[in-house]
Structure formats: structure tokens, C-alpha cells
Amino acid sequence: MPGFAIRRATAADASVLAHQRAGMFRDMGELPDELHDPLVKASTAYFAKAIPEGSYVAWVAENEDAPPLAPGEIVGGAGLQLRELLPRPHPERTRLMRGPQALILNVFTERSWRRRGVAEALMRELLAWCRDNGVESVVLHASNEGRPLYEKLGFTATNEMRLGGKGGVTR
């Protein structure tokens, strides 16, 4: 992998992961300025707790080269939140699916590192971990920019719907 190395994230990476999460929402046009700092603070606390307990598993890509970032700086990240899957028919209708489901979150690459294979390398590492750990149900919400990568990796659109709009359930 040119210029970067993938490693498993630790709780020590919580603040970097939180800043990447805010950057992801900013890039999608979904994060107003006044929510940036509260999102970073809340996300840092979540990652610091969830990574050690194993409910959030993440990987980061570290710069191995010189500028634009110093060697060792994190240039991208991706993670998954594990949740118990209620038994359901497998899409092929030949057996039941059980076990944990991975919800992929926070796939992010620093601007100067985009289009260099960082997100794909992170996703391949994440999906290999899922295979090795018996996670057969993997879902994500794709941004328009990320959709081509996810389709390349075999993801397909599903029948998911969302209660949205202003207020959602709390109206």
C-alpha cells in the first residue's frame, strides 16, 4: 500500500476518530458549525468507552511518507458497530442468519489522501475481520461519494427506509 499502513485503532485514537467523524459529516454538508465541537466531544467519549469493550471496532491508516502530513499521522479511518442480529432468513432462503451484525460507520480519508486507495484498504481490512469473526451481516449508509467504492466491494442497495424529516420520532 503506497504511503500508508493500516492498523487496528485503540482507545488512544478516540479523539482522532471523533475528528474524522465530524469531518465526514462536514463533507456531506450535514454538520452545522455550532454542532462540530459537541459532536467531537460526544464521539470521543463514545470511542474511548466502546473500543475497549469491543462494541466498536475500528482501523486507521497511518502516513508512512513525508508531507503533507508527518509520518505516523492518521490519514483515514473506518469502523463498525456490532449489534446482535435477530435470527432471520438468509437472502438465499436456505438457512437462518444469526450472530452479530456490523454497521459500518465513519469511513473517512483526509482530503490530501483521497483517491489513493486508503478507504478501499480500510474497507478490505474491516471486511476481512468480519469474515474471520463470523459476522455475515454487514450494512452501511453510503454517501454519494462513497457509493462507487461500496458497490465495487459487493454492497447492494436494500429496502431500508428511515423515519426522517424534522424531529423524527421525537416530534
Residue 92 domain-assigned? yes
Structural domain tally of the chain?
1
Residue 171 domain-assigned? no
Residue 37 domain-assigned? yes
Tell me if the pTM is above 0.85: yes
Residue 18 domain-assigned? yes
CATH number at residue 53: 3.40.630.30
Domain range for 100: 4-158
| Mean of per-residue pLDDT scores for the chain | 90
73-110 pLDDT per residue, tens: 999 999 999 999 899 898 889 999 888 999 999 999 99
- 170 pLDDT higher than 80: no
The DSSP bridge partners found for residue 78 are 59
Residue 84 domain-assigned? yes
Residue 50 domain-assigned? yes
Residue 68 domain-assigned? yes
Residue 72 domain-assigned? yes
pLDDT value of residue 168: 61
